[in-house]
Amino acid sequence: MAAKRLIDIIDCDYLHPGFAGAFLLVEGPAATARAAFVETNTAHSLPKLLAALARRGLRPEQVELVIITHVHLDHAGGAAALMRACPNATLLGHPRATPHMIDPSKLVASARKVYGEEAFVKLYGEIGAIAEARVRAMQDGEELGWGGGTLKFTHVRGHANHHLVVEDSLARAVFTGDAFGLRYPALQSRGLFIFPSTSPTDFDPREAQASVRKIARSGASRAYLTHFGALEGLAEAEEQLLAHLDFSEKLLEEAVRSPFSGSELEADCERKLREYYRDFSESHGLGFGDAEWELLGLDLELNAQGIAFAAQKRRVKPA
């Protein structure tokens, strides 16, 4: 009988349900199954990840791989906690990401500065170090035989310079992190709505577009988005994402020339993003109401910050 990969979507209930997830990959009968996680969310999500294992009748000792797409804390903040719970696992990530898993001090210090100590602990919990011997950096295009198939690791830029995606040949699936947009279930009732993450600090529209095309044409029949869930119809999603990124690129160019800076520039970018997506919602019959715009609020704010940050980096400094 041909090998089969089971993929469970775990809602980590980060900020609210249907916002951020992780994925459990399982192959084989429970007693001898091989298991892997893609994404870890935060340390607070550990009980949910272990519960997903238990529902499959698996033990933490059966987890062989823990894969992170990048080190943003809603993707990798729980990596150390999960690795402690799964003693036989190896952590896989981008070569620029793995050093932060071995020594997270800079990552933690930066996040504490942004959020403050109380909010940091509430959002992310404890972020510990992972022994270097248990961490492996995956090169661009590198393939790893696992179970009855192959996992291929592809570096993708545009959202973060330390981002990779994972193609699973057995499941014909690709795990996209933030490189193939955000698609919240609560916004899909009247048709597909998927949009890119342009948050700080590495947003590059051309690289983001190249990454979207690369994922859409990977041969995968299904994408697993950390934000959120399984997506079929990659061609339609590609078309929508590229259109939104085209607008984001134009907005970035405007922001470079803008007289505003700092918080004023961020506010101007956010206003224009809201106008753009409001027009898109109306023209595509999506009918977003107050609840939908409230759900989008944080991402619009972060996306505006990312565009403003990129614009200020591109400005020519006075002689």
Which residues, in sequence order, are bridge partners of residue 145?
150
d(CA 60, CA 76): 18
**What average pLDDT does the chain have?**
96
Mean pLDDT over 198-204 rounds to 96
Are 98 and 137 a contacting pair, CB within 8 Å? yes
Residue 171 CA to chain centroid, in angstroms? 19
> Which DSSP letter does residue 48 get?
H
Grade residue 3 by pLDDT with cuts at 50, 70 and 90: confident
Is the pLDDT at 126 greater than 60? The verdict is yes
Mean pLDDT over 209-223 rounds to 97
Cβ contacts of residue 104 below 8 Å, gap of 6+? 80, 127, 128, 129
pLDDT in tens, 58-93: 999 999 999 999 999 999 999 999 999 999 999 999
pLDDT in tens, 28-57: 999 999 999 999 999 999 999 999 999 999
Strands (E), 172-288: 173-177, 222-225, 229-231
Instruction: Please name the residue ranges forming H helices in 91-227.
Output: 98-102, 105-115, 117-124, 205-216
Instruction: Say which amino acid occupies 302.
Output: L
Q: Which residue has the tokens 């990401």?
A: 97
Grade residue 163 by pLDDT with cuts at 50, 70 and 90: very high
Q: What's the pLDDT at 114?
A: 84
DSSP H or E run through 34: strand 34-38
> Which DSSP letter does residue 307 get?
H
Q: What's the pLDDT at 316?
A: 65
d(CA 42, CA 68): 12
Would strands 5-11 and 21-27 be described as parallel, antiparallel, or unpaired? Answer: antiparallel
Share of the chain above pLDDT 70, in %: 98
Grade residue 317 by pLDDT with cuts at 50, 70 and 90: low
Cβ contacts of residue 271 below 8 Å, gap of 6+? none
Cα atoms found within 13 Å of the Cα of residue 269, Cβ hemisphere only: 36
Grade residue 122 by pLDDT with cuts at 50, 70 and 90: very high
Domains located in the chain, CATH noted? 5-237 (3.60.15.10), 240-314 (no CATH)
Is the pLDDT at 1 greater than 60? The verdict is no
Grade residue 2 by pLDDT with cuts at 50, 70 and 90: low
Is the pLDDT at 137 greater than 70? The verdict is yes
